[in-house]
Chain A
Amino acid sequence: QQQVKQSPQSLIVQKGGISIINCAYENTAFDYFPWYQQFPGKGPALLIAIRPDVSEKKEGRFTISFNKSAKQFSLHIMDSQPGDSATYFCAASRYRAGTALIFGKGTTLSVSS
Chain B
Amino acid sequence: DTAVSQTPKYLVTQMGNDKSIKCEQNLGHDTMYWYKQDSKKFLKIMFSYNNKELIINETVPNRFSPKSPDKAHLNLHINSLELGDSAVYFCASSPRPKDRGLPYGYTFGSGTRLTVV
A contact set with B: CB distance below 8 Å = 1, 32, 34, 36, 38, 41-46, 49, 87, 89, 95-103, 105-106
Contact = CB atoms under 8 A, between A and B. Distances in A.
B41 A46 contact: no
A35 to B, nearest CB: 10
Contacts of A43: 4, 90, 92, 108-111
Contacts, number: 65
Q: Determine the main DSSP class of A at the interface with B.
A: loop
B31 interface: yes
Contacts of A45: 108
Interface residues of B, number: 28
B38 to A, nearest CB: 10
A101 B96 contact: no
B8 interface: no
Interface string B23-40: 000000011010000001
A40 to B, nearest CB: 10
A-B pairs with lowest CB-CB distance, top 9: A43-B108, A100-B45, A98-B50, A98-B55, A46-B105, A103-B43, A97-B96, A106-B41, A43-B110
